[in-house]
Chain A
Amino acid sequence: MTTDYVRPERRLTPIPNEQTTAFWTGGKDDQLLIYRCKSCGHFFHPPAPACFRCRSLDVAPEPVSGRGTVATFTVNVQPWLPFMPPPYIVALIDLEEESDVRVLTQIVGVDPQEIAIGDPVEVFFEHWSPEGGAEVWVPLFRPAGGAA
Chain B
Amino acid sequence: MRRVAVVGAGMTQFKEHFDKGIKELIPEAVAEMEASVDKGFERSQIEAAWFGELTTSDGFPSGILADTLGLLDIPVTRVENACATGNDAVRNATFAVASGAYDVVLVVGADKVRESSARSTFWEWGALTRDMAWDFPLGLVAPANFALHAARYLHESPATREHMAKVAVKNHRHALTNPKAQMRFEITVDQVLNAPTVVAPFGLYDCTPQSDGAAALLVVSEDVVDRYTDKPVWVRGVGLGMDRVMHQHKSDLTTFPPTVRAAKAAYSMAGIEASDIDVAEVHDCFTAVELISYEDLGFVERFGAADFVDKDETTFEGSLPVNLSGGLKAKGHPPGATGVSQCVELFEQLRGDAHNQLDDPRYGLAHNIGGPTAVAAVTVLSSIKA
User: Which parts of B124-148 form the interface with A (CB within 8 Å)?
Assistant: 131, 133-141, 144, 147-148
With beta carbons under 8 angstroms apart, the residue of B123, B155, B199 that contacts A77 is B199
A105 contacts across to B, CB distance below 8 A: 138
Decide yes or no whether B198 CB sits under 8 A from chain A: yes
Asked if B138 contacts A74 (CB within 8 A), the reply is: no
Give the docked Cα–Cα distance between A93 and B194 (Å): 29
Which chain B residues lie closer than 8 Å to A78 at the CB level? 198-199
Q: Say which one of B96-104, B241-249, B373-381 lies at the interface with A.
A: B241-249
Given A52-B249, A80-B139, A92-B148: A74 and B134 within 8 A (CB)?
no
Q: How far is the CA of A81 from the CA of B311 in the complex (A)?
A: 41
Interface size on A, residues (CB 8 A): 34
Chain A, range 43-99, C-beta contacts under 8 Å to B:
44-46, 52, 71-78, 80-81, 84, 88, 90-92
B75 contacts the other chain (CB 8 A):
no
Q: Does A104 contact B (CB under 8 A)?
A: yes
With A72-B151, A72-B155, A102-B248 known as contacts, the answer to whether A11 contacts B137 (CB < 8 A) is: yes
Q: Which of A71, A76, A100 contacts B141 (CB 8 A)?
A: A76
Q: How many residue pairs bridge A and B at CB < 8 Å?
A: 84
Q: Given the complex of chains A and B, what is the CA–CA distance between A11 and B196 in angstroms?
A: 26
Q: Would you call B152 an interface residue if the criterion is a C-beta within 8 Å of the partner chain's C-beta atoms? A: yes
**0/1 interface trace, chain A 89-127, chain B, CB 8 Å (1 if under):** 011100000001111111000001000011000000000
Does B329 belong to the interface (CB within 8 Å)? no
Query: For residue B131, which residues in chain A have a CB less than 8 angstroms away from its CB?
Result: 46
Q: How large is the interface on B (under 10, 10 to 19, 20 to 34, 35 or more residues)?
A: 20 to 34
Chain A residues near B246 (CB, 8 Å)? 46
Minimal beta-carbon separation of B118 from chain A (angstroms): 10
The 8 Å CB contact of A71, one of B133, B152, B197, is B152
Complex Cα–Cα for A7 and B209 (A) = 33
Q: Contact at A104–B199, with CB atoms within 8 Å? A: no
Partner of B199, one of A75, A102, A117: A75
**A12 vs B197: C-alpha distance when bound (angstroms):** 24
Give Cα distance in the complex from A27 to B194, angstroms. 41
Also in contact, A90 and B248, with CB within 8 A (given A20-B133, A77-B197, A77-B198): no
Q: CB within 8 A of B133: which of A14, A75, A106?
A: A14
What residues of chain A lie closer than 8 Å to B199, measured between beta carbons? Answer: 74-78
Q: Is A71's CB under 8 angstroms from B138's CB?
A: no
Interface centre among A12, A74, A90 (most CB of B within 10 A): A74
* A112 → B minimal CB distance (Å): 7
Q: Report Cα–Cα, A74/B199, bound state, in Å.
A: 6
**CB < 8 Å neighbour of B139 from A46, A71, A90, A117:** A90
What residues of chain A lie closer than 8 Å to B197, measured between beta carbons? Answer: 75, 77
Check if A13 is an interface residue, CB within 8 A of chain B.
yes
| A-chain residues with CB within 8 Å of residue B248 when the two chains form the complex | 45-46, 92, 101-104
Most chain A CB within a 10 A radius of its CB, from B136, B141, B201 = B141
Q: Quick one: closest A residue to B133, CB to CB?
A: A14
Chain B contacts for A91, CB-based, 8 A: 148
**A12 and B137: CB pair below 8 A?**
yes
Q: How far is the CA of A77 from the CA of B139 in the complex (A)?
A: 11
When the two chains form their complex, are residues A92 and B247 in contact, meaning their CB atoms are under 8 A apart? yes
Contact of A80 among B135, B141, B147, B148 (CB under 8 A): B141
Per the bound structure, the CA–CA distance linking A88 and B147 in Å amounts to: 14
Instruction: Tell whether, in the assembled complex, residue B141 and residue A75 are in contact, meaning their CB atoms are under 8 Å apart.
Output: no
**Quick one: which of A52, A74, A80 contacts B200, CB cutoff 8 A?**
A74
Q: Which residues of A have CB within 8 Å of B119? A: 80
Q: B200–A104 contact, CB under 8 A?
A: no
B158 to chain A minimum Cβ distance, whole angstroms, is: 15
| B228 proximal to A (CB < 8 A) | no
Alpha-carbon separation in the docked complex, A112 to B139 (Å): 15
Residue of A nearest to B246 (CB): A46
A14 touches B137 (CB 8 A): yes
Report chain B residues within 8 Å CB of A76.
139, 141, 144, 199
Question: How distant is the Cα of A82 from the Cα of B144 in the complex, in angstroms?
Answer: 17
Q: Select A46's contact among B122, B134, B144, beta carbons within 8 Å.
A: B134
The chain A residues found within 8 Å of chain B, CB to CB, are 11-14, 20, 44-46, 52, 71-78, 80-81, 84, 88, 90-92, 100-106, 112, 117-118
14 A–B contacts from the bound complex (CB under 8 Å): A14-B137, A46-B131, A46-B133, A46-B246, A71-B152, A77-B200, A78-B199, A84-B139, A88-B139, A90-B139, A101-B248, A104-B247, A106-B138, A112-B200
User: A-B pairs with the 7 shortest C-beta distances?
Assistant: A74-B147, A12-B137, A72-B152, A75-B200, A77-B197, A102-B248, A117-B155
Other contacts beyond A14-B137, A72-B149, A106-B138: 20, CB < 8 A: A13-B137, A14-B133, A46-B248, A52-B244, A72-B155, A72-B253, A74-B144, A74-B151, A74-B199, A78-B198, A80-B119, A80-B123, A90-B139, A91-B148, A92-B148, A92-B253, A103-B248, A112-B200, A117-B151, A117-B152
